Structure 1
């Protein structure tokens, strides 16, 4: 089958940023290998697209929605009361400003869509399932299949972690379920020809009739070129366990230090903690108080290449985060051949199984600490088994979770939509 023509809507897409914009950029550009893709993004990303070598007008179009987007972004920054916090507030603000972007997209591309210039219109970002799309109905009326997703987000806060929830200023998350009643949500799902669900949770929140046209496909993937080389774990000495992430309560770095303390005091384990954040001073004091300061290296924030080197020299990736939507950092660890030890909840829990990592059940803070302590004790006793698990994880990522693999998986959905075939299962359960 020849390559389909795809208008890829990626309002957030930027190769120089992280999180959602990097996902939007990575998927949209990976799809260019399997389809004839024209990317539509927001004007704030224009210069980064040009620096990456894309040609404006031919490869992408930048839509200037700044008249509304900029003041709404500034409002969101004030309301979230802290850099990197209040994610639900950001999505609420985006739900107000984003429709103007789609209005401008239709103004510029509506005539071409109605004329059949594109086989498929695919909205890649926003990833949030709370943000509806006016393009879905317009494309349906034009007879052009509209694809939505991957959608992910809104994983409930586990019981017993309200303090962490408040510290992240996630006050609106208590009301998040109300989005299901927002105008446009039902119409968006109804008019979509297919929906990519980035998590089992998001899939389960959809009405039954929408689940029938949904395909499970986690949104994160890796670029193999970014994970070539790097360090290698030492065959002798204490086991090295790495943590990578913001130093905030819900990521659990303090739980990890407490769980690992007995092994560190015994000289059997060393922790490498990569990242920065408001907990840094408290974590250093915690390590001092537990008598393990010499067995913990706080690397602070590092460039990606240095993160790769530090994590690649670890035998284990220890990550007790209790609320991760996608778990991209878990994929990155596996891509380096470093087996993950994670909490079995949300994104990481869906990416890890017994063949490629270790999962501790979600529970109270005390239960997670006890679970990690027991797992670390067991894992320190067999480095050969850890290495084999790490290799299995790396093999799995390279087969199923690179951006090239993700593009092929999405292409299979395109083909099914265009031929009327049943939607495929594209990602391993």
Structure 2
């Protein structure tokens, strides 16, 4: 059986986002290999709990480097961006020392750098002298410069600085370029990332979404069928139920939807539920009030995951306004619930949503975006037949992003890249017992 060293700083069955990505990668890899996981101290505890609860395949082994004084003093989980990259880089230095020791004992067939999902920190797995698989990796997508006027000055400066740092890291960071040069295979999380990496690194990069869904049962489409029947009978259909879900952060750009809705409501009925919490909640609630939307917009806060999924099963349209996102798990969850998606046609959303299950709008300017969203909202409110068709197509599209399919792709790479080392290891073992 293959032996794979999976470097997954975040890996837990008890959380979403990066943690769920690491966990999904671990479970899928376990179908074809004995997985050895290097993870953070916090996630080591989560994997230990998962093992005790019988969630972890029995052959999985997991480890965490012993934190030194520097790592304990400076958490990788907090910084100007999503992570403190100085501390996160230091964790990788500790991790590679442990990896070398483990490799001397276990003779891994390949190493996979999986989470955190960012090109800025490739780790040091490529130094082990075995095939190095990197990704899916994201992070190169930037906030559109033409939309900086939507942001408070401090946030606009941060996004501009991030874009400059991204370009420098892609083209000039020697360790990132070394990892890209030594990688046997690289996966990009979205087509924007794929384009950026191929341009910067001058090599082939495959496209594979970093996340996925465990299952997609057929959802209930009756709310759309009722709406179409009422429309055909000339009856009042009631407001179009809109749902928005995510962190209330500037890059998620909820005000675009609020401003479009304030104009669209003059021609059709809507009701919007906003799920999630974050630093912009107070300001965006005030903006909804200022726009006269108090009677049709409800900020519901962060709900437990089952309740958030239930809300998607009651939505007529899922609105994803994000202006910077590698992917967006909420989009997949909405599609799995049979909710059509209205989004911008860029970055991860462009890859996940197609014309069968949603409407993708261009990213040109704030003024144009608000007008495009207004028109799209009105058109969909009036076109019950289109909503029903997209509702049926949404879970079909969502099934293209099942973890099992994603895992098949990576597992094929595991078998292809690790086979030679595995055969050598097995021959050595046989000769040792001869």
What SS class does the counterpart of residue 278 from structure 1 fall into? Answer: coil
Q: TM-score, normalization: structure 2?
A: 0.83
Partner of 2:176: 185
Q: 1:34 to 1:55 in 2, by over 3 A?
A: closer
Partner of 2:121: 131
**Partners of 1:295 and 1:324 in 2: how far apart?**
27
Partner of 1:37: 35
**Do 2:241 and 2:271's aligned partners in 1 also have CA atoms closer than 8 Å?**
yes
Give the superposition deviation at 1:394.
0.9
Q: 1:207 to 1:287 in 2, by over 3 A?
A: closer
Q: 1:105 to 1:137 in 2, by over 3 A?
A: closer
Partner of 1:167: 155
Q: Give the 5 Å matches for 1:3-402.
A: 4-53=2-51, 58-67=59-68, 68-73=70-75, 77=78, 79-80=79-80, 86-87=81-82, 90-91=84-85, 93-113=87-107, 118-139=108-129, 144-162=130-148, 164=151, 166-167=154-155, 169-170=158-159, 172-173=161-162, 174-179=164-169, 180-207=171-198, 212-224=203-215, 233=223, 235=226, 236-265=237-266, 268-398=269-399, 400-402=400-402
Give the superposition deviation at 1:43.
2.4
**Partners of 2:199 and 2:325 in 1: how far apart?**
25
Partner of 1:426: none
**Do 2:198 and 2:204's aligned partners in 1 also have CA atoms closer than 8 Å?**
no
Give the superposition deviation at 1:232.
6.6
What SS class does the counterpart of residue 150 from structure 1 fall into? Answer: strand
**Do 2:221 and 2:388's aligned partners in 1 also have CA atoms closer than 8 Å?**
no
Higher-Rg structure is: 2
**Partners of 1:146 and 1:308 in 2: how far apart?**
37
Give the superposition deviation at 1:345.
1.7
What is the aligned-residue RMSD (CA, Å)? 2.8
**Partners of 1:219 and 1:20 in 2: how far apart?**
9
Q: 1:57 to 1:354 in 2, by over 3 A?
A: closer
Segment drifting more, 401-410 vs 121-130: 121-130
Q: 1:265 to 1:293 in 2, by over 3 A?
A: farther
Q: TM-score, normalization: structure 1?
A: 0.84
Q: 1:209 to 1:309 in 2, by over 3 A?
A: closer
**Do 2:325 and 2:347's aligned partners in 1 also have CA atoms closer than 8 Å?**
yes
**Partners of 2:417 and 2:148 in 1: how far apart?**
43
Provide, for residues 40-70 of structure 1, a one-character-per-residue CA deviation record: whole Å limited to 9, x for no partner: 3222212211222356994122213421433
Give the superposition deviation at 1:331.
1.1
Partner of 2:407: 407
Segment drifting more, 257-266 vs 314-323: 257-266
Partner of 1:425: none
Provide, for residues 182-207 of structure 1, a one-character-per-residue CA deviation record: whole Å limited to 9, x for no partner: 23223212222111111222222335
Give the superposition deviation at 1:120.
2.5
**Partners of 1:91 and 1:66 in 2: how far apart?**
16
Give the superposition deviation at 1:302.
0.6
What SS class does the counterpart of residue 262 from structure 1 fall into? Answer: helix
**Do 1:123 and 1:148's aligned partners in 2 also have CA atoms closer than 8 Å?**
yes
What SS class does the counterpart of residue 288 from structure 2 fall into? Answer: helix
**Do 1:34 and 1:407's aligned partners in 2 also have CA atoms closer than 8 Å?**
no
Aligned residue pairs total 400
What SS class does the counterpart of residue 332 from structure 1 fall into? Answer: helix
Q: 1:310 to 1:207 in 2, by over 3 A?
A: closer
Runs (5+) with no aligned partner, structure 2: 227-236, 421-434
**Partners of 2:201 and 2:419 in 1: how far apart?**
19
**Partners of 2:220 and 2:101 in 1: how far apart?**
48
Give the superposition deviation at 1:153.
0.6
What SS class does the counterpart of residue 241 from structure 1 fall into? Answer: strand
